[in-house]
Amino acid sequence: MEAKEVIISIIKANCILNDKLSASLKPFKISLQQFNVLRILRGQKGLPANLSEVHEKMVHKMSNTTRLIDKLINKTFVKRNTCKQNRRKIELFITPSGLRLLDQIDLIVKITEEKIIEKLNTKEKEKIVSILRHLNN
Amino acid sequence: MEAKEVIISIIKANCILNDKLSASLKPFKISLQQFNVLRILRGQKGLPANLSEVHEKMVHKMSNTTRLIDKLINKTFVKRNTCKQNRRKIELFITPSGLRLLDQIDLIVKITEEKIIEKLNTKEKEKIVSILRHLNN
DNA sequence: ATATTACATTTGTATTTACAATTGTTGTAG
DNA sequence: CTACAACAATTGTAAATACAAATGTAATAT
């Protein structure tokens, strides 16, 4: 088994999965990355997240995370404050309208995600996550 | 095991692997996608490949494959002819200078690829390829 | 207090990618 | 033969992303 094969199979899987998820988000005029940011912020359960925390959980260059969030702010789904304790940092919150959007989107994304991996059984899912985690560390 | 977890692990793996490969290609002023096209054309062993064939093996929109190849042509690594039998099609060849470039790049990419998956044993590599293939079809 | 360094984010710019529409060519039905 | 559909590739354009440099703030050393 050549390294190349393994790598290509990961790249292709990513591509397919990205296409399907993006397509399911299209009616909501939101990109996959924007959706991910909103999900991360919701995960904070009211606590602010600062930009670098969000950035770490993403797969982006920092500069583009800024602009990604600019867009979410324009759409009123996110609010940005500079942090009182450390004015270099900024605090990010998801707004009520952002939460409402996620409410609308959640189900369709969940269905899409499950459809993507529907052919995998429990063991395979566990296996792939553990192998990939292994690869990433 | 939630679908979301599986999907995120694939996305992250792809991200890491993409970063590492791109970095190793940087000294050669060539992108990963451009490198892939060259590899595909070399794989033809002298036979022409037409654009749609190349496109199918890639993870791009057709329109961008055209432009990707434009760049390789500007760099003289690829040659383009319109197909005599069917003038809608174009034939693509890798040039001698494209082959020389690949000669230079091959080793470093191979090393990078192997380094990326060095923590996986034979069984894991086989497993992951088979699971992902399963997912893609 | 001032200079220096590190930190957190932003800006500028070029390149890449997505999406829609268009061009030119071939096949085919009437 | 002509019209029309299908095919293969390209172009135009907006959005996303990569990369380098700059801004503003805080911490530290002298």
The pLDDT tens digits of the residues spanning B23-82 come to 999 899 999 999 999 999 999 998 999 999 999 998 889 999 999 999 999 999 999 999
Structural domains in chain A, CATH included, are: 3-136 (1.10.10.10)
Instruction: Cite the DSSP H helix spans in B26-95.
Output: 32-43, 51-56, 62-74
* Other Cβ atoms within 10 Å of B53 Cβ, number: 16
What is the end-to-end Cα distance of chain B in Å, rounded?
21
Q: Tell which residue, B24, B80, B45, B62, has the closest CA to residue A3.
A: B24
Cα angle B80-B109-A2, degrees, rounded to a multiple of 5: 100
* A90-94 and B49-50 strand pairing: unpaired
Contact flag B110-A12 (C-beta cutoff 8 Å): no
Vertex A114: Cα angle to A18 and B2 (nearest 5) = 100
Over 90: is that where the pLDDT of B126 sits? yes
- Find the closest chain A residue to B15 by CA distance: A59
How large is the angle between the packed helices A32-43 and A62-74, nearest 10 degrees? 80
Q: How far apart are CA B87 and CA B70, in angstroms?
A: 18
Q: Compute how many other C-beta atoms are within 10 angstroms of the C-beta atom of residue B131.
A: 23
Closest residue to B17, CB basis, from A10, A18, A122: A10
d(CA B94, CA B76): 9
Residues in chain B: 137
Q: Which amino acid is at B10?
A: I
Q: What is the pTM of this model?
A: 0.89
Q: Does B107 touch chain A (CB under 8 A)?
A: no
The encoded tokens of residue B54 equal: 């190349």
Rounded to the nearest angstrom, the minimum Cα separation between A15 and chain B is 7
The model's pLDDT over A64-121, given as tens digits with 9 standing for 90+, comes to 999 999 999 999 999 999 999 999 999 999 999 999 999 999 999 999 999 999 999 9
Which of A2, A14, A130 is most worth mutating to test chain B (most B CB atoms within 10 A of its CB)?
A14
Distance A87 CA to D22 C1' (A): 18
Distances from the Cα of A55 to the Cα of A7, A37, A39, angstroms: 25, 9, 13
Helix A3-25 × helix B96-116 angle, to 10°: 90
Q: What is the pLDDT of residue A128?
A: 94
E strands, A59-130, where?
78-82, 90-94
Residue B69 contacts strand D, CB under 7 A: yes
Residue B137 has pLDDT above 80, yes or no: no
